[in-house]
Amino acid sequence: MESFILTSILIIGSLWLILLGASFWGISRTSVIDESSPGNLPPNAPFVSILVPARNEEANIGKCLESLLAQDYPHFEIIVANDRSTDRTEEIVRELAQRFPRLRLLNVDHLPEGWTGKTHALHLASKQARGEWLVFTDADTHHSPACLRKAMNHILHHKADLFSTVGRMDNQTWWERCLTPLLGLALMMWYPPPLVNSKHSKLGFANGQFIIARRSAYDAFGGHEAVRSELLEDIAMGKRAKQFGFRVRLALAPHLYTTRMYPDFRRFFYGWSRILLNGLDKSPFKLAAFFFFGLVMSIYPTVLTVVSWIVFLFDPELVTGLVFLLCVLVYLVKVWTVSNTYFVSGSQRRYAFLNPINTLVVLAIVAHAFYKVVHPTGRIEWRGTQYSAR
């Protein structure tokens, strides 16, 4: 038994050391826009159109628009695409539009076959936009006054065609603080920012919470019409922009905007199931591989640690204390590696110690996504509309 545990834990420990090195490499090579980042603009700063899709967002839209209207960027307009809302979203936007001429309301009253609600709303809004740069941002985001100015400085400096950021998550509950960084890590393992930013890599990615696209590039790769049926239109747009040879960039921007994705656990569970399902290309193979990876890298070494401790207590000849300590050491390396993600995302590192429990929840989300994609009639509900999971 001791040789089996020793061999297993040495292999897994080596893999975690590789992941630890990869995490430091990824963090060191990922752009970060913070309070000290430059925000200077050319004298003729380009005109920007900010497009906000909104469906039943009465709880968020006012706060979002007030933060956008307070931007210190000189030349911009805001278009809200009110996508068939049945609450006070339209009323709130109209009241603000009467006070701020740069804000316009576009009412969307139908959803054509083959489109998702968000892609259709943003497609219509882009047709009315006058800017040479288009900013797509969600209604549940809240922006700092310097957000647009610093983002435009970054995109102009790097001569990018499509740029997106990962802002700060407003994690208010313990399960948000425990799980969101881990799920973010899961997604970034498939889309490492250094590879997304490399002109030599074909990997594309974008985060729909905040995307800036050069209008000419947006039109060239087909815009939202080209990804009209995608439930993760942001990632699809990032991939498509790269396929067309455009420069794509991704940066961390914890001080530019905040967002709270899902206020309750049910929406959190099913929302992330949708994200992982589509983020992994609706591939049963990728989802199964991800599930297996979580089992082997997180759950299995935890089981080995517990088993080695129990056997050591009752029969030290079967498992020595040295093997048990090695299992503990691998667990600590795992915690150290995962804690980097909690630190980068603004959450507290101590939640990484709950990694086995957190991983079980993540695996349940992955399993749900796998079930949806292999089920012949698997459906996903998003924003009150049913879509096929296949």
Residue 52 and residue 140: Cα distance in Å, rounded?
A: 10
Number of continuous H segments (helices) and E segments (strands) in the chain? 14, 13
- Of 51-65, 140-154, 250-264, minimum mean pLDDT range: 250-264
> Residue 300: is it exposed, middle or buried by C-beta count within 10 angstroms (0-12/13-18/19+)?
middle
Average pLDDT of the segment spanning 174-198? 88
Average pLDDT of the segment spanning 10-39? 85
Residue 79 and residue 65: Cα distance in Å, rounded?
A: 10
Q: How confident is the model at residue 196 (pLDDT cuts 50, 70, 90)?
A: very high
Core vs surface per residue 357-368: b (16+ CB within 10 A) or e: ebbebbbebbeb
Q: Which residues contact 326 (CB under 8 A, 6 or more apart)?
A: 6, 9, 10, 13
Average pLDDT of the segment spanning 336-359? 83
Average pLDDT of the segment spanning 342-363? 84
Q: How confident is the model at residue 384 (pLDDT cuts 50, 70, 90)?
A: low
Nearest-CA neighbor of 51 among 76, 71, 80? 80
Question: What does the pLDDT read at residue 390?
Answer: 66
What are the pLDDT digits (tens) for 91-110?
999 999 999 999 999 999 99
Average pLDDT of the segment spanning 136-161? 96
Q: How confident is the model at residue 281 (pLDDT cuts 50, 70, 90)?
A: confident
Core vs surface per residue 230-264: b (16+ CB within 10 A) or e: bbbbbbbbbbbbbeeebbbbbbbbbbbbbbbbbee
Q: What structural domains does the chain harbor?
A: 2-26+283-388 (no CATH), 33-167+209-261 (3.90.550.10)
Question: What does the pLDDT read at residue 383?
Answer: 66
What are the pLDDT digits (tens) for 221-236?
999 999 999 989 999 9
Stretch (H or E) spanning 323: helix 321-344
Question: What does the pLDDT read at residue 22?
Answer: 84
Q: How confident is the model at residue 385 (pLDDT cuts 50, 70, 90)?
A: low
pTM attached to this predicted model:
0.90
Question: What does the pLDDT read at residue 389?
Answer: 65
Average pLDDT of the segment spanning 38-55? 93
Average pLDDT of the segment spanning 278-282? 87
Kindly state the DSSP code that residue 297 receives in the 8-state scheme.
I
pLDDT at residue 377 is higher than 80 = no
Average pLDDT of the segment spanning 347-372? 89
Average pLDDT of the segment spanning 147-155? 95
- Of 13-22, 140-149, 345-354, 373-382, minimum mean pLDDT range: 373-382
pLDDT at residue 195 is higher than 90 = yes
CA distances, 251 to each of 35, 133, 149, 158, 175 (Å): 14, 18, 15, 12, 25
- Beta bridge mates, 252: 32, 166
